[in-house]
Structure 1
Amino acid sequence: MFRIYKSLSEDIFTNLALENYLFLTLRPHIQGLFLWSNSATVVIGRYQNPFLECSVSRLREDHIPIARRQSGGGTVWHDRGNLCVTFFGSRSTFSRPGNTKIVVGALQSLGIPAEMNDRSDILVEGKKVSGSAFRETADYSFHHCTLLLHADLARLGEYLRPAFTLPEAKGVKSKPSAVTNLRAHRSQLSMDQLEETIVQAFVRTYGGTSSDKPLLLGSETVDQLEDIRAYRDEISQDSWVFGMCPPFTREVSFDGTTIRLTVEGGIVTNLELGETAPPLVRKTASALTGLAYVDLATGGRQIVEKYENQGFTEGASVLKALIQSL
């Protein structure tokens, strides 16, 4: 038995919530397929540090969300030129290669020379068009992948560029790959055609007919189900996106001294300054402890304004310069 679903939403948090709802409610004997696509978004893996994967400050400036998914794996760029495909099924029969072969077969039927590597990525002429990740419980699993149809690869390269690196940091690190769009190999391929071809490949695999079509999931689905709304709201919060960040430590040089910050749960929990730190730097730097690191990485405007409003202009200037060095 199988079920096919397609989301009408372009919101990453809504789509992740729909995916999670299907994962938790579909029965183990049901093979599921879920098609979805998002507006411009960066999506990080469950165990990743967003500050080491993308330009957090640039994304915030451009009002592009960062989402943390439940599955592992690396960071990906989503936009309306990118199709997301999720397979659901019993853990006992779960097969990432098997699911990937369905997509590869669909692409090959369109005349695209797609092939799968040993990590279940999909390549076309040596360049990646799809990566994947999975999640599982005691009896059920999902495996999702992306497909670059006509994604904005320039923006992908621009935003998936972290401000700093930490070679010894905890967490999963993405493995950069050369990428390409499917339209570079079949210029007239539409999103509708791509979706329909994947649906039919899935249907053939599980014994359906060409009349089997996706059930459309729109805003009324979300409005009617509190579980979806609650989960969507939860994963859109900074407490999930940044608060689940693996702990890390940064050292920066500032005004002739070394400053070492420890970040845990997305919060600056400890700050150490070198012995040569000027008194004013020592005093102002202490204000960083207890702050969310994402606020500092995006300019720390509120804490600087707090100092300015208190009349501590000189300290505000030092603090602003310090935050800019992070």
Structure 2
Amino acid sequence: MIYLPVDSLDVRHNFALEYYLMTEKRPSEPVLLLWSTTPTVMLGKFQTAENELNRPFIDAHHIAAVRRLSGGGTIYTDQGGCQFTLITPDKDTAIDFSSGLSLITGALNQIGIKAQNDSRNDLVVDGRKVSGSAQYMINGFRLHHGSLLFDANMDWMAQALQVDPVKKQAKHINSVHQRTVNLIEQKPNWTAQEFKRKLEKALLNITGAQIGYLTAAEKKHLQEIAGQRFSETAVWRSDNRKFDHVHKRYLTGIGVVSVAFNLDQEQHFSAIHLSGDFFSNINLQQFERSLIGKAYQQRVVTPIIEHQLQQSPIKGLQPEQLTELLF
């Protein structure tokens, strides 16, 4: 394993680094990163910004906004916490958080924090969330990245993020504070910087990773990738289509799944959009094209959805669940 030290607090630079490693550097062994950001909100790949983010607050407080290449939900990060990234050569395209979470849990336990895995992608301490993860695959590489809250600004988190009412109702929560906690409650004498240093030491001890470095040319190239792939305009660019039908549900172990669609006079799909905080490598444009022009009939739609999800599964979701949501 290679450990690459990351000094940048710019989320776009750090996402560009992840992307560069997977698509161009293509290492022959796993790569581990540990990094932090200035105040930032990270939108999941399949989410809609208007539903998840409080833009007036984000703009007023100069909070960076970026869309991830991974699915899952929106998170808030700042220098009161840190992010981890594990990039692994892997031909398996199924989303699987187990190995990455085991590594992080082992490191946390080694520094005296008794975290454990809970639900699909979270780590909890005493039943409250301290870490969320997301994942995506590109060309034979798996990327697992996640956040760790140590002394994050919970007030800013609560105001910057909008929890979907469907999720609020399903999970019986009223605010972000109800389900998240800072690890400083476990280690009140540590600073966020001390926490990150101790975690780094534990990870290096567990993995035996060798320290790697980027060249000046590589660092310059990351600036280009950041501008091309992770611009702020991509976060706020919205789908301007108006939909007559919107069916949304929170599915345990899967997340929020929303399907919006229009039908023409003959009751054929004229427009459709799938969104949510689920995990998948699905190509949304391809999925939507497969249904345009098809009759809004369960016998017609069922085999199409089965084929699409067989090609690119949504983690935990059975085809019949999506069909049921449509109808």
Q: Same fold by TM-score, threshold 0.5 exceeded? A: yes
Q: Which amino acid aligns with 1:115?
A: Q
Cα drift, residue 205 of structure 1: 4.5
1:177-231 Cα shifts (integer Å, max 9, x gaps): 61001111111234444334444444455455xxx4464x69x566532xx2222
Root-mean-square deviation (Å): 3.4
Cα drift, residue 72 of structure 1: 0.8
Rounded Cα–Cα distance in structure 2 between residues aligned with 1:42 and 1:103: 22
Q: Which amino acid aligns with 2:183?
A: L
Is the contact made by 1:70 and 1:135 (CA closer than 8 Å) also made in structure 2? yes
2:54 is the counterpart of 1:55: yes
Unpaired segments ≥5 residues, structure 2: 168-174, 245-259, 261-327
2:42 is the counterpart of 1:43: yes
The TM-score with structure 1 as length reference comes to 0.64
Cα drift, residue 27 of structure 1: 3.1
Which residue among 230, 234, 237 is the counterpart of 1:240?
A: 234
1:120-166 Cα shifts (integer Å, max 9, x gaps): 3100001000000011023111000000011001110011137x979
Rounded Cα–Cα distance in structure 2 between residues aligned with 1:241 and 1:85: 22
Partner of 2:279: none
Is the contact made by 2:52 and 2:162 (CA closer than 8 Å) also made in structure 1? yes
Unpaired segments ≥5 residues, structure 1: 168-174, 251-261, 263-326
- The total of aligned residue pairs comes to 239
Q: What SS does the corresponding residue of 1:131 show, helix, strand or coil?
A: strand
Which one is further off, 194-203 or 58-67? 194-203
- Given the superposition, is the C-alpha separation of residues 191 and 5 from structure 1 closer, same or farther in structure 2, using an over 3 Å criterion? farther
Q: What SS does the corresponding residue of 2:21 show, helix, strand or coil?
A: helix
Partner of 2:104: 103
Note the 1:161-200 alignment, pairs <5 A: 161=162, 178-200=179-201
2:220 is the counterpart of 1:224: yes
Q: What SS does the corresponding residue of 2:20 show, helix, strand or coil?
A: helix
Q: What SS does the corresponding residue of 2:79 show, helix, strand or coil?
A: coil
Partner of 1:294: none
Cα drift, residue 248 of structure 1: 5.5
Cα drift, residue 12 of structure 1: 1.5
Note the 1:241-280 alignment, pairs <5 A: 241-243=235-237, 249=243
Cα drift, residue 58 of structure 1: 2.0
Is the contact made by 1:42 and 1:75 (CA closer than 8 Å) also made in structure 2? yes
Rounded Cα–Cα distance in structure 2 between residues aligned with 1:223 and 1:82: 24
Which one is further off, 86-95 or 152-161? 86-95
Rounded Cα–Cα distance in structure 2 between residues aligned with 1:197 and 1:102: 14
Which one is further off, 127-136 or 116-125? 116-125
- Given the superposition, is the C-alpha separation of residues 105 and 56 from structure 1 closer, same or farther in structure 2, using an over 3 Å criterion? same
Partner of 1:254: none
Which one is further off, 66-75 or 22-31? 22-31
Which one is further off, 65-74 or 55-64? 55-64
Which one is further off, 46-55 or 12-21? 12-21
Is the contact made by 2:79 and 2:192 (CA closer than 8 Å) also made in structure 1? no
% identical aligned pairs: 25
Q: Which amino acid aligns with 1:146?
A: S
Which one is further off, 58-67 or 93-102? 93-102
Note the 1:103-122 alignment, pairs <5 A: 103-122=104-123
Rounded Cα–Cα distance in structure 1 between residues aligned with 2:68 and 2:155: 23
- Given the superposition, is the C-alpha separation of residues 224 and 240 from structure 1 closer, same or farther in structure 2, using an over 3 Å criterion? same
Note the 1:284-295 alignment, pairs <5 A: none
